[in-house]
Each structure stands twice: as C-alpha cells, then as structure tokens.
Amino acid sequence: MVENNKIQQTVFHTVLILLTLCCVLPFLLLFISSFTSEDALIRNGYSFFPQEWSIATYQYLWNNISLIGHGYFMTIVVTVIGTVCSLVLTILFAYPLSRPDLPYRNIVSFFVFFTMLFNGGLVPTYLMYVNTFHIKNTMFGLIVPSLLMNAFYVIMMRTYFTSNIHDSLIEAARLDGAGEGKILVQLVLPLSKPMISTLALMVGLGYWNDWMNGMYYITDSRLYTIQNILNNMLTNIQFLASSSEITGGASIADLPSVGIRMAIAVIAVFPVLCVYPFFQKSLIKGIAIGGVKG
C-alpha cells in the first residue's frame, strides 16, 4: 500500500513538473530571444543557448521611450478605470439576479446567457458605437466595447452569490433594519473578496492585453495604449525591412525585425508576471468556488 502511494506521488509530481516546464520554458525562450542578435535569430532561429547576444532591440525601444512611456500611462489608466467600472456594473447586475425574490429573474438570466451565444456582428457594433454613441477617438472607445460588461463574469458572480451567501444572513440583516445597499456593501462584498479578486484580475488582463478597440475606434496617437503602440511599431519595422528604398539597401539583419517581436512581448507581459503572484491564491479560490454551475 505504501509502495503504491509512493508510485502515485512520483507519477503525480513528474506530471506537474512537466506541466510547469511547459509553462515556464516559453517565457524563458521569449526572454532569451529578446537578447539574441538579429543575425543569429535569422540564421539559427530561436534557441535557449544563442551564439551571439545583443541588446539592439531594447536600444531601439529605448529610442522611443517617450512614446512607450505615454503608452504605458494610457494602458494603466484604461486598465484601472475599466476594471473598476466593470466590477461595479458586474456586481450591481449579478447581485439582484442572485436573489430568489427578484421578479422575472429567470427571464433576465436567459437574456444574459443569450448574449454569450449571439451578438450583432462587428460591422453593426462598430456603426452603433461610432455613429450613435460617438466614442471614436475618446477614452470610452478603449473602455466600453466588448470589455466593460461580460455575460460570463456576471454569471460567475451570480453563482458565487447564490452558492456562498446564505439567505439566512441576508434575512438577519434585513431584520436588523439594513437596506439592500447596506447589505450589499457591508455584508455581501466582504464575503466575496475571492471572487472579486478573481474577476479583477481577469478583467484587468483583458484591458491590459486589448488592442482591438484601439485599432477600431482610435486614430489619435495620443490615446494609443502600449499594445497599439507596439503593434504599430512592429508594423513599421516590417515595412522598413521590406523597403530597400527607405533602408538604403540595408540587410534585414541590420533591423530588429525579428528580435523586436520578442522584446515587445517581454515588455507587454512583464507587468502581468509581476502582479499575478499577488492574485494567484484568490484567483484559484475564486474560480474553484465560483465556477459556473447548472
């Protein structure tokens, strides 16, 4: 019996180690490739042991530090504002749906779920936001479309409220004279910290990694986030590398057209890697407890 347990633990630990390596090694290769010379990348491809090291890609990015700094500032502002607004709207929508005495609760829940399956399409959505709500080249264009409200997050939060906030606690608070607002703020939210932290991380990642809204609704460079700036920078490098007139006949290896992809990815993912460990415990707990149930 003891031998069987040891074998099972060995197999289990081996599988976990392999899965961990599958997660860690791509980031390690990404980081190493960003410090590999362009010529080595073109000749030998990506390698954990490059033949030639270089910081040319980061020098290129450093030459655009003011642009990148402004992009980081815009990304942080959009992420913070968007995450806070999304959490507030999600909680205010999910809490009433979790109460059994809400009239037409099942009908409203069906419409929420329906939006997960069908949408109006890209072109009608774009025309509505631009012609009706006039969010083009405004901060709302980076915050509202596709990110401000998510039906899946509403259902997750509603399920958490239903499964973990007992009706007896709410009834006791009502007997003490508390209104719905006070019950939500002073009773429900403190008991929902794991799920709130989970949604904050998931929504924040969505805003941080988003570049589609900037591509569709933003043409003013002053509103570009880091994702849009780096995407445009990559496009410009590819254009330079393919144009002999602009580069003066220079070799593609003289331009960081390959390594810049790695450096861009490192810059974009580094803040997320720094923040994630602080949310890991709440993320695992929130997903485990608030998983969508039938």
Over residues 269-282, the pLDDT tens digits come to 888 777 777 766 66
Report the CATH number that the domain containing residue 244 is assigned in CATH. Answer: 1.10.3720.10
226-236 average pLDDT score: 77
How sure is the predictor about 33, in pLDDT bands with cuts at 50, 70 and 90? confident
Q: What per-residue confidence (pLDDT) applies to 247? A: 43
204 in any annotated domain: yes
SS3 readout for the chain: CHHHHHHHHHHHHHHHHHHHHHHHHHHHHHHHHHCECHHHHHHHCCCCCCCCECCHHHHHHHCCHHHHHHHHHHHHHHHHHHHHHHHHHHHHHHHHHHCCCCCCHHHHHHHHHHHHHCCCCHHHHHHHHHHHCCCCCCCHHHHCCCCCCCHHHHHHHHHHHHHHCCHHHHHHHHHCCCCHHHHHHHHHHHHCHHHHHHHHHHHHHHHHHCCHHHHHHCCCHHHCCHHHHHHHHHHHHHHHHHCHHHHCCCCHHHCCCCHHHHHHHHHHHHHHHHHHHHHHHHHHHHHHHCCCCC
44 in any annotated domain: no
7-18 average pLDDT score: 87
14 in any annotated domain: no
- Residue scoring higher pLDDT (257 or 202): 202
172 in any annotated domain: yes
How sure is the predictor about 240, in pLDDT bands with cuts at 50, 70 and 90? low
Q: What per-residue confidence (pLDDT) applies to 293? A: 47
188 in any annotated domain: yes
Overall number of domains in the chain: 1
- Residue scoring higher pLDDT (55 or 1): 55
Q: Is the pLDDT of residue 249 over 70?
A: no
Q: Which residue range(s) make up the domain with 273?
A: 67-289
Q: What per-residue confidence (pLDDT) applies to 292? A: 47
- Residue scoring higher pLDDT (177 or 233): 177
Query: What's the pLDDT tens digit per position in 194-206?
Result: 888 888 888 998 9
